[in-house]
Structure 1
Amino acid sequence: MGNCIICGTPVDGEICKSHEEDAVFEFRGSSASELSPGRYYRGTVDGYADFGVFVDIGDHVTGLLHRSELDQRLESLDWEPGDDVYVQVLSVRDNGNVDLGWSIRQREREFRGKLIDTGDDEVLPEEFGDDRSESAADSESSDDGGSAAASDEDATAATGDAAAASESPDEADVEAGDLQTAVDDSGPSDDTGAPNASETVTTGSGSVATESAAASTPATDDAADAEPALNRTTIDTIDNQVGTVVRLEGEITGVRQTSGPTVFELRDETATVECAAFEEAGVRAYPDVDIDDVVALEGEVERHHGDLQIETETLEILDGEDGETVRERLEDAIESEARPADVSLLADHDAVAAVEDELVDAATAIRRAVMEARPIVVRHGATADGYVAGAAIERAVLPLIREKHTREDAEYHYFERRPLDGRVYDMDAATNDVTSMLEARDRHGEQLPLVLLVDAGSTEESVDGYDLLSLYDAETIVIDDSRADDEITDAVSLAVAPSLAGVDVADVTSTALSANVAAHVNDDVRDDLVHLPAVSYWENAPEAYVDLASEAGYDETGVSERREAVALEAYYQSYKDKRELVIDLLFADGEGSQIPRDGDLAAHVSEQFRAKLETELETARENLTTEDVDGVTVAVLDTGAFTHRYNFPTTTLLLDALHREQREANDEPFVTLGVGDDELHVRATDQLDVRALGDDVAAAAPDAGVHVVGGRDGHVAFLPGERDAVRDAALEALGETLA
């Protein structure tokens, strides 16, 4: 009769049934039948198969960890044959096959105890003659001398304390001084004040490697007490320090609790890294530490499933002067790095030049969000212009995220495009975003995002949505070519809208604005972006953008094929970003493309676009009526009766194409009017204020529930029962406005 090593309950053996899964077992039996299902065992990777990983449990038993039991793809595992892993025995079959399960705990320290499973009983390691901890074993195996070095240390330790006592204090001081001199003379640090990546991280008495070696040698209590603290290093240097204990200082930007350790995301002035801290399985470590706290952290640099990670040993909140020093260092680094050093627009374009300062401010805010480890959410219209504009921002931001974060999947956590249904950021979209960001904060410890509206959200109909975001202090930026409302400037953090600068926006697209922002977010991708403005114009693209595209290898056909292909794909699954597909369509010859370089995806998809559009245009032409209203020709299409509402193309895309055709055949002012069941869309040769038109229609049809969606460039919505009255009122108002 003994006591459970975890709870102390009297048991036959060393652990009670309720805590059996809290301990890790070393198997010293000889048969699979001696394993205990449900227990966690330390094993060794034996090899891979298409269906999983074979793991040796002890010296005589091999089990299969099936790919279905993994928490990631089999191909992404970085285990090598011979690596130690921790698995759970799920079952032992009658034929001796052992089924294994994944363990989220992959270090001995993450379990609450360790026992030896002899096959007949469980015993304490020291009773079995094996009292080495995992950390001790790791320390020995990390020496260049390998097992021989370990044997030498054992031999040295066996000589007792007498040999250590024979060394005089003066001799010890001289050796320590010589060691510090050697370290101090090893070379200069970089501009950040941190040691160079090629150097060891030093402490007051030597390198971390020296301290580790010293720690493995018996020492007096006085010597341990005198050991100085580690010097600070920076995250951008730890890639070359795997296996080394380092000290980092920075800001906590995320906290999430797993079923094993607590994972803190730490940001310093150079990058961001995840730090795992273990109290016990599923229990919050360092509960006083939270997002935005400035801390000092010490721990061992490791790779966890391919990602750099710190195994936290100590974590301390820095207050007062120490905390302020770190905050100032972070702010200075962000301020100097976030703002683009050089400002150079992609081309001479008056509408873009009018908002040059705002473009730079937007680029600065985006870069700053990346550096502060804040997620970026891009909302854009589900149109060709919206998708291309959003893709331009995406192209610039993703490399920065990969550079600043050590997680390989960081770009999927810190950047997201969410297409909008329309060009208004309404309460539905805002509620969706707020719900997502609060869930991410509560479940994963993420910071609140930067919300970027592109090709949408610049009219007063979006103010309610912005107000909801502002209650949580979420930063918002609008980049839009529409004629914006003045009310938007107070509702968002920054508006990039040429119309607010008093510029005619007839020859500018949201992509032209966004591509210029993106070029200043990341100058390294500028050459990838130069053809995008030309892609966004259905007609009359500024010559400067056409020339840029041509110089980049995109002729007129290549540009139009990409525009048409994106327009078609924007329609299908319009609520999804389709990141990889959009990359293939827009950047088929560049980094990130998933199709062969000799493939012609854009040409193939654009053929479908033209075929589907032509089918709808044939029907529309046959059912188009023309009216003369006070000398103005108005072509009217009953879009409710003569279009396929739920098929491609959209009503707006169809009317755009129809209006271009009709205008080419008419030299005089011309208007195309699409009247649906509850919406009225208008296209005119000269810019028309749809909001003013809506006011006139509402006055003439007071019972129609008329309201305008999307501001001066939007459309008129009404009650279906008053459709005829709205149509007549719109024709009369157009005649008075355009005569």
Structure 2
Amino acid sequence: MGTCIICGTSTDGRVCDTHEEDVAFEFRGRSPSQLTPGRYYRGTVDGFADFGVFVDIGDSVTGLLHRSEVPGRLESLGWDAGDEVYVQVTDVHDNDNVDLGWSIRQADRDFRGHLVDDPDAESNAELPEDDAEGEAGAEADSGAEAEAGDEQDDSEASTADGGQPVGDADAGFEFADETGPDADAAEAPATESEAPEDRERSGPATEERAEPDDEAGDAPERVPVADLDDRVGDRVRVEGELASARQTSGPTVFELADETGTVDCAAFVEAGVRAYPDTEAGDVVRVVGEVERRRGELQVETEDLVELDGEDARAVRARMDEALDERAAPETTDLLADDPAVQAITDDLVAAATAIRRAVVEARPVIVRHTATAEGYVAGTAIERALLPLIRDEHAREDAEYHYVDRRPLDDAFYTIDDATGDVTDMLEAAERHGEKHPLFVLVGAGSTDESTDALELLDVYDADAVAVDGGYTHEAAAADVLVSPTKAGEDPVNTGALGAQLAALVNTDVREDLYHLPAIAYWDELPDAYAELAARTDYSPETLADLRDAIALEAFYQSYEDKRELIADLLWGDAEDSLIEHVSDQFSERLETEIATAEPHLAVRGEDGVAFEVLDVDDYTHQYDFPPVDLLLDALYRRRDRADVLVGVSGDEIRVRSGDTVDVHAVGETVADELPDAGVVPRGARDGRIEFLSGEQDRVVDAVVEAIADQRGH
């Protein structure tokens, strides 16, 4: 039995099952069957094919990373033959073919440890060993203590101003933030001259860290994070708030944010031991150390970390708050296009943009949850487009854009308790495993009706803020921290895609021109003049914009469970004459026309008090679970109407209504619920929502809905 290098629990090998995916493995086997599926391995790019990338895992095994696993086109990887990469082994087939999965972590620092998968060892999860040092790596703890006395002969290398004890950085243990086993031991923070057994293994005592270094007269000058790029090799002092703390198999890595940016600070006690264990995300600290560049990224090699309190902490927070307020404020409040309904809620848009920008500056992830519709995708990707440059500028780590913004489609037109439960679970795991701050949730086309109340309250329990952006009808009691809703301000509804583009233009003025054509893509019916004029300033013709809308609607359906950022970006911001647009839009047209042709002969026509209705039994006369989804099909059928005033789609235990603005679907549902108290009738959404009921009462409910709509239109 061994001990997990991350959590310390007993395990067979050096890592427990819970933390196995947190470690990168070096494979020393000779057969594909010796690989362990689910693990992440360090490999080398062997070559490329149209269908993927071949990666060598160890010296004798090659696997395939299929292009479907890559977030974008293969060319976007920027990999060359011979490059060191990280991949996940997802499956090993009986014929010895090895399937590989994409790893978002492509640097040593992103893993919490490095181990060896050697079938000839006692277990297939062992510490790396340096060939010249024999078993030193496997006995790093005891070796470090045994050599402590020898290290004291070199006081300059063994003593740090902060009194932080360390182990042997060259003991054969590979650290996630070190350049490799040959890294100079002097690059790690040095130990106290007194023996480790005389001190706490977890780091210096609290009282020894309570006094700031500058009182000793040897503290270097304070340097803003934004200026560290010019101070590589210098000993500096940085002050700010800890955004996260993650424990690797070597040092503890603290992400520090000040008023100008963020930087990683690596503090080392001994292999896998948490440095400054009482310090956590949200604390205000002062760090003294040397600025290094590790694999192209800035890092402060920490000599001393002091948690500030009292006036010192208040001064840092005041400096950060003042700068954050200034940096978070949108550079302009000018709208993207002159839309009176949007103009009426400019203050709400500015508040939402400020909240989003502040999350970026505070190193909080931004999670964009949007409906899986063309409108939702246009709005969600517009906000994402605005965020990406801000995140790249703010964070030093090369993969920051994958950590600090995530866009996730919703299953429904509401932010449900299921959605919130999943989001909270991910949020808590990120906080526990990586010390990440709680994210800001941006709900697009959802979060503004009663159906989202429970979900938003769950976020609130964990102090996670939410911004809701919805161009449709909303409820008065909408519970989001910031709500952007024209109808709540007494205006007519606005296409949510256009509203999201307007918000994105305030979030980042540098991308405004990238957004000009987006509102036009989101409209299925007549395009308002303001957005038509905006689109006319681009290279996109009206026909191309219509094709783009169709293409996005198709991809919205097929990516509803696993969104890929790059494919949507290729469609929305690729060449206006790109064949990809035509190819995907043609698929949309073929599938939609087939389904319309299937459904139209089965539209049942009926009249009620002078109102013409068409009713479609969706379950019986459409191909379920295939494109197009029910809402999109009903929209298309209603746009082609020439016989009826109202279209009613009946599916299992749901009714969807398509009509003019004269029908308040929510009010109809309430009326029917009163008339049929045993039918389980529940209106969902606001006035443009849908009606749910017990499927066994379908006939009675449909009759009652038709009667209630006719009565409402008659009045």
- When normalised by structure 1's length, the TM-score is 0.70
1: CA distance, partners of 2:538 / 2:129: 49
1:402 to 392, 395, 399: 392
Q: CA-to-partner distance for each residue in 1:354-375, whole Å, 9 max, x for gaps?
A: 1100001100000000000111
1:674 match: secondary structure: strand
> 8 Å contact 1:110–1:261 — kept in the other structure?
no
> 8 Å contact 2:655–2:692 — kept in the other structure?
yes
Q: CA-to-partner distance for each residue in 1:189-238, whole Å, 9 max, x for gaps?
A: xxxxxxxxxxxxxxxxxxxxxxxxxxxxxxxxxxx998632010011111
Task: Report how far residue 630 of structure 1 moved.
Answer: 1.0
> 8 Å contact 2:285–2:308 — kept in the other structure?
yes
1: CA distance, partners of 2:127 / 2:599: 64
Equivalent in the alignment of 1:375: 365
The range that moved more, 314-323 or 225-234, is 225-234
- When normalised by structure 2's length, the TM-score is 0.73
> 8 Å contact 1:672–1:684 — kept in the other structure?
yes
1:296 match: secondary structure: strand
2: CA distance, partners of 1:354 / 1:110: 67
2:272 match: secondary structure: coil
> 8 Å contact 1:255–1:290 — kept in the other structure?
yes
2:526 match: secondary structure: coil
Alpha carbons of structure 1 residues 134 and 390: separation in structure 2 relative to 1, 3 Å: farther
Q: Report the AA paired with residue 589 of structure 2.
A: R
Is 1:682 matched up with 2:657? Answer: yes
Task: Report how far residue 89 of structure 1 moved.
Answer: 8.2
Equivalent in the alignment of 1:732: 707
1: CA distance, partners of 2:502 / 2:103: 38
Equivalent in the alignment of 2:491: 503
Which one has a bigger Cα radius of gyration? 1
1: CA distance, partners of 2:472 / 2:600: 29
Equivalent in the alignment of 1:265: 255
2: CA distance, partners of 1:599 / 1:455: 29
> 8 Å contact 2:648–2:658 — kept in the other structure?
yes
Alpha carbons of structure 1 residues 373 and 539: separation in structure 2 relative to 1, 3 Å: same
Equivalent in the alignment of 2:505: 519
Equivalent in the alignment of 2:303: 313
Q: CA-to-partner distance for each residue in 1:24-64, whole Å, 9 max, x for gaps?
A: xxxxxxxxxxxxxxxxxxxxxxx997767999xxxxxxxxx
Equivalent in the alignment of 2:77: none
> 8 Å contact 1:480–1:497 — kept in the other structure?
yes
1: CA distance, partners of 2:562 / 2:535: 27
Q: Report the AA paired with residue 659 of structure 2.
A: A
1:588 to 574, 598, 609: 574
1: CA distance, partners of 2:377 / 2:264: 32
1: CA distance, partners of 2:260 / 2:300: 16
Aligned residues with identical type, % of pairs = 49
- After superposition, residues 243-642 of structure 1 pair within 5 angstroms as 243-488=233-478, 491-505=479-493, 508-589=494-575, 599-642=578-621
Alpha carbons of structure 1 residues 320 and 659: separation in structure 2 relative to 1, 3 Å: same
> 8 Å contact 1:565–1:609 — kept in the other structure?
yes
Equivalent in the alignment of 1:22: none
**Backbone CA RMSD of aligned residues:** 3.7
2:637 match: secondary structure: helix
2: CA distance, partners of 1:383 / 1:266: 38
Alpha carbons of structure 1 residues 430 and 130: separation in structure 2 relative to 1, 3 Å: closer
Q: Report the AA paired with residue 413 of structure 1.
A: H
1:551 match: secondary structure: coil
> 8 Å contact 1:459–1:487 — kept in the other structure?
yes
Equivalent in the alignment of 2:20: none
> 8 Å contact 2:129–2:138 — kept in the other structure?
no
Task: Report how far residue 78 of structure 1 moved.
Answer: 10
1: CA distance, partners of 2:119 / 2:652: 66
Q: Report the AA paired with residue 246 of structure 1.
A: V
> 8 Å contact 2:219–2:288 — kept in the other structure?
no
> 8 Å contact 1:456–1:480 — kept in the other structure?
yes
> 8 Å contact 1:235–1:272 — kept in the other structure?
yes
Alpha carbons of structure 1 residues 88 and 694: separation in structure 2 relative to 1, 3 Å: closer
Task: Report how far residue 445 of structure 1 moved.
Answer: 0.5
Alpha carbons of structure 1 residues 624 and 70: separation in structure 2 relative to 1, 3 Å: closer
2: CA distance, partners of 1:603 / 1:408: 34
Alpha carbons of structure 1 residues 670 and 650: separation in structure 2 relative to 1, 3 Å: same
> 8 Å contact 1:635–1:673 — kept in the other structure?
yes
1:736 match: secondary structure: helix
2: CA distance, partners of 1:361 / 1:555: 34
> 8 Å contact 1:53–1:66 — kept in the other structure?
no
2: CA distance, partners of 1:250 / 1:355: 35
Alpha carbons of structure 1 residues 437 and 115: separation in structure 2 relative to 1, 3 Å: closer
Task: Report how far residue 649 of structure 1 moved.
Answer: 0.4
2:250 match: secondary structure: coil
Alpha carbons of structure 1 residues 328 and 68: separation in structure 2 relative to 1, 3 Å: closer
> Structure 2: 5+ residue runs without aligned partners?
1-12, 15-43, 48-54, 60-81, 89-101, 121-125, 131-135, 161-168, 170-213
1: CA distance, partners of 2:420 / 2:106: 36
Task: Report how far residue 675 of structure 1 moved.
Answer: 1.2
1: CA distance, partners of 2:365 / 2:104: 28
Is 1:661 matched up with 2:649? Answer: no
Q: Report the AA paired with residue 345 of structure 2.
A: V
2: CA distance, partners of 1:466 / 1:661: 38
Alpha carbons of structure 1 residues 88 and 457: separation in structure 2 relative to 1, 3 Å: closer
> 8 Å contact 1:376–1:451 — kept in the other structure?
yes
1: CA distance, partners of 2:432 / 2:372: 30
Task: Report how far residue 465 of structure 1 moved.
Answer: 0.8
Is 1:699 matched up with 2:674? Answer: yes
Task: Report how far residue 575 of structure 1 moved.
Answer: 2.2
Q: Report the AA paired with residue 487 of structure 2.
A: S
Q: CA-to-partner distance for each residue in 1:692-726, whole Å, 9 max, x for gaps?
A: 11122223332211101222111111111111111
Equivalent in the alignment of 1:238: 228
> 8 Å contact 2:127–2:137 — kept in the other structure?
no
2: CA distance, partners of 1:386 / 1:500: 19
2: CA distance, partners of 1:532 / 1:412: 23
> 8 Å contact 1:624–1:636 — kept in the other structure?
yes
Q: Report the AA paired with residue 269 of structure 2.
A: E
Q: Report the AA paired with residue 725 of structure 1.
A: R
Name the structure, 1 or 2, with higher relative contact order (CA <8 Å, separation 6+): 2
Q: CA-to-partner distance for each residue in 1:657-694, whole Å, 9 max, x for gaps?
A: 000000xx35xx71011112111111112342111111
Q: Report the AA paired with residue 634 of structure 2.
A: L
> 8 Å contact 2:128–2:137 — kept in the other structure?
no
Task: Report how far residue 425 of structure 1 moved.
Answer: 1.2
> Structure 1: 5+ residue runs without aligned partners?
1-17, 20-46, 56-64, 80-85, 94-98, 117-121, 139-223, 590-596
Task: Report how far residue 284 of structure 1 moved.
Answer: 1.0
Task: Report how far residue 626 of structure 1 moved.
Answer: 1.4
Task: Report how far residue 75 of structure 1 moved.
Answer: 12
Q: Report the AA paired with residue 438 of structure 2.
A: L
2: CA distance, partners of 1:247 / 1:238: 10
1:646 match: secondary structure: coil
